[in-house]
Amino acid sequence: MSGKNYQFKVVLLGEGCVGKTSLMLRYVQDKFNEEHLSTIQAAFLKKKIRIGSNSVELAIWDTAGQERYHALGPIYYRASNGAFLVYDITDIDSFERIKSWVKELKTSLGNNCILCIVGNKSDLEKNRNVPIKEAEEYAKSVGAKHYSTSAKLNHGVNELFLDISKRMAEKA
C-alpha cells in the first residue's frame, strides 16, 4: 500500500497582535512568547505530518507585520490551499477585519482555498468581546469552519492544523 505525498501552502491572515505568529510557533516548535513577535520570522515554516498512509508537507506562511499598514498584497496568499483567518476573541474590531479578508480570498482564489475562522486567545474567555454564536454563524455563512484556540495554553492548535490538512487532502 503506497500513500500519497501532498504539499500544501497555508497562510495566516488577520489583524496585527491577534496571535498569528504565536499559533505558527506553537504548532511547529511548541514555543510560546509573551512578546509581540512581529518581524523576526522567515516567510514560512515547514512541517510534515502523516494522515493515515499519506504524508502532508505544510508550508505555513506568516506575515512580517505588513498587515498593520494594510500592505499585504495578493502575492502573499497566491496559490494557497488553505487560510487561517485569525481574530482575537477579546477584540471585536479584529473579528470585523477578517470579513474583508474572506471577501478578498474568495475573489482571488474562488472556492479552491479551505477557510478556517480562528478565534484565538481562548484563555481570555472572561474578556470575550466576540459572541461565539455570531462568529460560528458568520463562518457558516461563508462556507468556512470556526475554531477556538489558545496559542498560549496550547488549546486547539494541533486540532486546527490537523483539520485543515485533512480538508485540503480531501479536496486535492
Q: Enumerate binding residues for Mg ion (CB under 5 A).
A: 20-21, 38
35 binds ligand GDP (CB under 6 A): yes
Q: Which does 36 bind (CB under 5 to 8 A by kind): ligand GDP, Mg ion, none?
A: ligand GDP
CB of 47 to Mg ion, least distance (A): 17
The pair phi, psi for residue 25, each rounded to 5°, is -70, -35
Taking a C-beta distance cutoff of 8 angstroms, is the pair 60, 10 a contact? yes
Q: Which residue has the cell 500544501?
A: 8
Residue number with CB closer to ligand GDP (99 or 169): 99
Closest residue to ligand GDP using C-beta atoms:
19
Sheet holding 145-148, edge to edge: 44-51, 54-61, 5-13, 82-88, 114-120, 145-148
**Long-range contacts, stretch 140-143, CB < 8 angstroms, 24+ apart:** 142/102, 142/106, 142/115, 143/111, 143/115
Q: Which is nearer to ligand GDP, 21 or 165 (CB)?
A: 21
Contacts of ligand GDP in 12-31 (CB under 6 A):
14, 16-22
Instruction: Look at residue 45 and give the partner it binds from Mg ion, ligand GDP, none, a contact being a CB closer than 5 to 8 Å depending on partner kind.
Output: none
Residue 64 binding: pick among Mg ion, ligand GDP, none (C-beta 5-8 Å cut-off by kind): none
Are 18 and 88 in contact by the 8 Å Cβ rule? The answer is yes
Residue with cell 485569525: 86
For ligand GDP, the binding residues (CB under 6 A) are 14, 16-22, 33-38, 120-121, 123-124, 150-152
